[in-house]
């Protein structure tokens, strides 16, 4: 009985292996080619939409800043479009870069400020961060850049440990 069972098991394994080989060597039928998808169209841009015009450009270089205090900069801009700019959101590329923006509409020809604060504490080395502004302006999204280098804190000088006074000699008897 064992011999019959083992023989049947071996035959079924051989048949499965042969069947797998046949499927591997068979040429697959060509897959039907999908019809080309229609290219997505960008939403029509309003020619009268508000437009950011930054006083000092969209990049600020802090140069070298010390580690510890916040590195802060105000990106001053003017709306040079024909309609108000409404900023819906602004966010930094990481949690260390925090923007503050006006929540009321910036009317045409008005000026406003986007304040950016970068946390330098614990981040010595180069600064290369972005702030993305989502609004109804022509520049959608508007991206501001901050650059610079955080100089590490000077290493604290080791505090000398006081040396105990030499032992007092014991009097001779």
pLDDT digits (tens, 9 = 90+) for 3-39: 765 665 556 666 666 665 555 555 555 555 555 555 5
Residue 149, C-beta contacts closer than 8 angstroms, at least 6 positions apart = 62, 63, 64, 65, 125, 126, 127
- 163 versus 27: the higher-pLDDT residue is 163
pLDDT at 72 over 80: yes
CA atoms within 13 A on the CB side of 21: 6
For the chain, counts of helices (H) and of strands (E)? 1, 8
The domains of the chain, with CATH numbers, are 52-151 (2.60.40.10)
| Per-residue model confidence (pLDDT) at position 150 | 96
What gap in Å lies between CA 91 and CA 106, rounded to an integer? 19
Whole-model pTM: value is: 0.64
- 41 versus 135: the higher-pLDDT residue is 135
């Amino acid at each position: 009985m064992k011999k019959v069972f083992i023989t049947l098991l071996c035959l079924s394994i051989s048949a499965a292996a042969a069947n797998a080989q046949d499927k591997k060597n068979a040429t697959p039928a060509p897959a039907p080619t999908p019809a080309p998808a229609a290219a997505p169209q960008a939403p029509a841009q309003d020619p009268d939409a508000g437009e950011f015009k930054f006083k000092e450009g969209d990049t600020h270089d802090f140069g070298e800043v010390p580690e510890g205090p916040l590195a802060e900069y105000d990106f001053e801009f003017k709306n040079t479009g024909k309609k108000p700019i409404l900023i819906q959101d602004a966010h930094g590329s990481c949690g260390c870069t925090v923007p503050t923006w006006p929540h009321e509409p910036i009317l045409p020809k008005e000026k406003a400020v986007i304040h950016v604060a970068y946390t330098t504490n614990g981040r010595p080395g180069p600064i290369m961060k972005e702030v993305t502004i989502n609004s109804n302006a022509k520049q959608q999204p508007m991206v501001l850049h901050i650059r610079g280098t955080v100089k590490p804190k000077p290493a604290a000088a080791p505090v000398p440990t006081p040396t105990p006074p030499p032992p007092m000699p014991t009097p001779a008897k």
